[in-house]
Amino acid sequence: MRSGGLDVRLVHDPPPVPLPAAIELAVYRIVQEALTNVARHAQARTVEVRIEYVDGVTVEVVDDGIGGSSVPGNGISGMRERAAALGGSLDAGPRPGGGFRVAAHLPDELGASS
């Protein structure tokens, strides 16, 4: 993404904690799809990826692009299904004042509720 001119920032606090492989993979794929959507649709200059390890893991991808429709496409639906399959949730939509936000919360263990 950076080589394409997008300024990508990663913020995580507290330090990463070990998670089951399925949850780590889901977080990776959600971030990957969110960044792909930014590159394809947002006309953004910057995007911030925030990861927080409190009561599971929360990942948020926020860009400064043109926003856009919150009507889910295949990418957003797929991210939502991936999170739900592990007991998590995902919200996505335009931000007030511009840009777009994808936020997912996943439990810290398989079979746990969020």
Domain boundaries, the chain: 2-106
Mean pLDDT of the chain: 90
Which two tokens mark 82? 């991936």
pLDDT value at 68 more than 80: no
Q: Quick one: average pLDDT of 27-56? A: 94
- Which of 75, 106, 72 lies closest to 89 in space, CA to CA? 106
Rounded Cα distance between 3 and 98, Å, is 24
pLDDT value at 70 more than 90: no
Q: Determine the angle formed by the axes of helices 74-85 and 21-37, rounding to 10 degrees.
A: 160
Predicted TM-score of the model (pTM) = 0.89
- Which of 49, 70, 56, 51 lies closest to 12 in space, CA to CA? 51
Rounded Cα distance between 84 and 104, Å, is 10
pLDDT value at 17 more than 90: no
pLDDT value at 78 more than 50: yes
CATH of domain 2-106: 3.30.565.10
